[in-house]
A and B are shown apart, each in its own frame.
Chain A
Amino acid sequence: MNKTKTILLLSMLGLANLACASPYLPVSEDEVLEKLPIRLESRHEIRELRNHAADDPANPLLAFKLVRRYIELGRAESDPRYFGYAEAALAPWLRLADPLPEALVLSATLHQNRHEFKAALDDISLALAHQPRLGQAWLTRAVILEVQGDYAGALKSCMALLRLAPLLTSATCVNSALSLSGQGDIALKNLAAAVQNVQTGSDSEKQWALTSLAEIAARLGRNEEAEGYFKQALSIHQRSSYLLATYADFLLDRQRPEDTLRLLDGGIRADALLLRTALAEQSLHSPGLTGHVEALKARFAASRLRGDTTHQGDEARFTLYLLNDPRTALELATANWSVQREPRDARILLEAALAAGKPQAAQAVLDAMLQSGIEDQTLKQLAKQVREG
């Protein structure tokens, strides 16, 4: 096993090296080597926030402001480096004997981003012990529990949120959890009503609510409704890789690869979007596919090299459909299932188990589906095949 691991690691090193085969000496001093990723204003703003925080290092508000800005940027650019900067800026506040609840919630957010769910939940428990009326803490907990497939726990946290957060936020939280535990129709109706009636709320709030609505409708097989919500969510001008990836999956499932490519529009900087682009290209037999498959290989190899396993779900999908290696895909999907249990995680495990001819490997998914009573057309179809297989 150890030997296999080593060989795997070494071959990946080889791959990573392929991607960077030959160092060179630039010819001209004017050669532009690198374009920095964010807009100038944002860089200046960050610099200012950094300076403020450095000038008054005892002021938690300034530090947290910087941390929040980093996290926002990380989200907007889907760029993990900002989460690292946030962690560094937050670190001194976590080293205190008695960290502030706000610091703990920020820490939980960073842990969650790296799929360190246990550490995130520990931070939240500590924060809530100090400050039970911290809406952000309840929300983060709800989201994590939902990802882990603990819908009852998620619902409980969402209930606590009812009194602490704006209506649309708590409505989305509650109905998302409900829809995953066998009450899809009610959840769809309630959340649709909330979106209709609540006129206040930020763009992000609305976008989250609409995306959730679209997902619920899609799971119930109500395609037209789902697409309507996806389009509404997109009409809010706030770039979200999550929304794009989810909508792309919806289109791919409905054999609409051209629409998928049109939606993603060459935005392949995020691995998840590149994967969906490649899947669409595969069904169109388009010439760009080979290059994108190589790029994904290199990217997954690079993240594995550093011991990063947050990509296992997408990597399983990549391995199954673009590399045609069901056995490895099943390993990845199984490992992924042990960390996160969203419908998409259930799905890739069922698909990989079927493709590998080992339906019994997906037993855990069948059990979880039975327990939650989740209503999801695609999952039901797959589960049936697995049971029969």
Chain B
Amino acid sequence: MLRLLATGLMLLLWIEGAHAHKPSDSYLSLKLEGSSIQVQWDIALRDLDYAIGLDESDDGSITWGELLRRQNLLNAYALARIQFSGDHAVCPVQLTDLLVDDHTDGKYAVLRLLAQCPNAPALLSIDYGLFFDLDPQHRGLLRLEHDGQSDTHVFGPASKHFEINLAAAMDPMTEILLFVREGIWHIWMGYDHILFLLSLLLPAALVATKGRWQSVPDFKRATLDVVKIVTAFTLAHSITLSLATLGYVALPSRWVESAIAASVIVAALNNIGCWILERRSWLAFAFGLVHGLGFASVLLDLGLPTHLRLLGLVGFNLGVEIGQLAIVAVTLPLVVLLSRYAFYPPLVMKLGSYCIAATALVWLAERSLGVAIMGL
């Protein structure tokens, strides 16, 4: 029987090993997104009281006011006992919220934290040292969510350190494919890129003579035209995408986004005014530089893991090209087919271009002024 007793000078004990209340645990839930880690850390109020004293009034109960008045001490105490590192560089932690919650053995303080790593880490490590000096039976129960997976760990005095190789969590090919998918997704969801491309494609099967558009139903010529435009656009945005992703160029995203909207307006109006005709590939190149900066900000938000900086970049870029070619593949035959009809130049191209320009004008206003008009 699990009991032990003593009398006289000896201990007086009934040990009830199997009949226990809960030992001390804290619950650490992490969500890793790119280079930032959202942390929720639940710590029992009772344990905190034992460590730093919360019961100010010494009446055996802890109120929300008492907890609030100890908040600074609590932060200092808790944050000194946890450390997150990405690729061996410390990720500074800040408290974003203090809440409370119920667990099976009482109320817990809920600390919401944000840890910001320098880069999206390939190797994430966590050092945990809460309460072990006061209660070696304390455990920190970690759950880490990353890339749609979950990992768990139990921190104890003999296992204060946890590290996970996030690069190993997925094989590199799968990871690169993820970036390819993101690239495709981005160009399809980014209507500004689609409209820009569309504006350049609309006149592909036309020639302008004396300021008037004429149909040239020559598929070969049209295709060649489009290939030139798309190549120029691709070349340009690849250059700036790479430079910005690798940190050589950085422009405020408000400027970049406004410039992208402006590029759509110019491309659309050009179809009406016929200023730049044979040299539309140069137009594509010039504005491609701006679009590349836009792609880069998406990729930076996604977070490129250090071990995949180049391959991730290439994958994302490849995705952008695939998405773009898909758009071209659908649009070009339609453009060539419809260009034969007389309604095409005035109705499809001119009216379409007006619409595109109008839409982009709204974007420009929204982005440069920081207001939402259409919410796109």
Contact = CB atoms under 8 A, between A and B. Distances in A.
B61 A36 contact: yes
Nearest to B29: A17
Contact of A240 (B14, B55, B106, B110): B14
A113 B15 CA distance: 6
Contact of A43 (B3, B5, B47, B60): B60
Given A135-B6, A302-B104, A112 B17 contact: yes
Nearest to B109: A33
Contacts of A79: 20-21
A142 to B, nearest CB: 9
Contacts of A13: 143, 150, 152
Interface string B120-138: 0000000000000111111
B353 to A, nearest CB: 52
Interface string A261-275: 000000001111100
B78 to A, nearest CB: 15
A68 interface: yes
B64 A28 contact: yes
B76 to A, nearest CB: 20
B251 interface: no
B14 A208 contact: yes
B25 interface: yes
Interface stretch (B95-103, B181-189, B203-211, B253-261): B95-103
Nearest to A176: B1
B11 A109 contact: yes
B5 A91 contact: no
B35 interface: no
B61 A29 contact: no
A interface, over-half SS: helix
B108 interface: yes
Nearest to A270: B19
Contacts of B286: none
B2 to A, nearest CB: 6
Interface stretch (B38-46, B238-246, B274-282): B38-46
A332 interface: no
Contact of B1 (A32, A143, A169, A310): A143
Contacts of A20: 27, 42, 101-103, 108
Interface residues of A, number: 89
Contacts of B376: none
Contacts of B42: 20, 23
Nearest to A68: B11
Interface string A187-206: 00000000000000110110
Nearest to A168: B7
A80 interface: yes
B107 interface: yes
B8 A32 contact: no
Interface in A127-154: 135-136, 139-140, 143, 146-147
Interface in A303-358: 303, 305-308, 310-311, 313-314, 340, 342
A84 B137 contact: yes
A143 B3 contact: yes
Contacts of B15: 75, 109, 112-113
B357 to A, nearest CB: 49
Given A29-B68, A30-B63, A33-B62, A307 B7 contact: no
B135 A87 contact: yes
Given A10-B152, A83-B137, A305-B25, A242 B4 contact: no
A34 B24 CA distance: 15
Given A10-B150, A201-B7, A305-B154, A24 B20 contact: no
Contact of B17 (A114, A269, A306): A114
Nearest to A115: B17
A23 B152 contact: no
Contacts of B11: 68, 71-72, 109, 136
A61 interface: no
Nearest to B137: A84
Given A169-B7, A302-B25, A306-B154, A23 B16 contact: no
Contacts of B10: 135-136, 139, 165
Contacts of B91: none
B63 A85 contact: no
Nearest to B23: A80
A147 to B, nearest CB: 6
A65 to B, nearest CB: 11
A204 B5 CA distance: 7
B141 interface: yes
A79 B14 CA distance: 12
Task: Please name the 10 residue pairs, one residue from A and one from B, whose CB atoms are nearest each other, closest first.
Answer: A29-B65, A84-B135, A84-B137, A272-B19, A23-B99, A26-B64, A23-B110, A306-B139, A23-B101, A80-B23
Interface of A: 6, 9-10, 13, 16, 19-20, 22-26, 28-37, 39-40, 43, 68, 71-72, 75, 77-81, 83-85, 87-88, 91, 109, 112-115, 135-136, 139-140, 143, 146-147, 165-166, 168-169, 172, 176, 201-202, 204-205, 208, 212, 215, 240-242, 245, 269-273, 295, 298-299, 302-303, 305-308, 310-311, 313-314, 340, 342
Given A26-B100, A34-B61, A169-B7, 9 more contacts: A25-B100, A34-B106, A36-B61, A80-B137, A81-B137, A88-B133, A204-B13, A270-B21, A340-B2
23 contacts: A13-B150, A22-B101, A23-B112, A24-B101, A33-B67, A35-B60, A36-B61, A40-B59, A40-B60, A75-B13, A75-B14, A77-B21, A81-B24, A83-B137, A114-B17, A136-B10, A136-B11, A139-B10, A202-B7, A204-B12, A204-B13, A208-B5, A305-B25
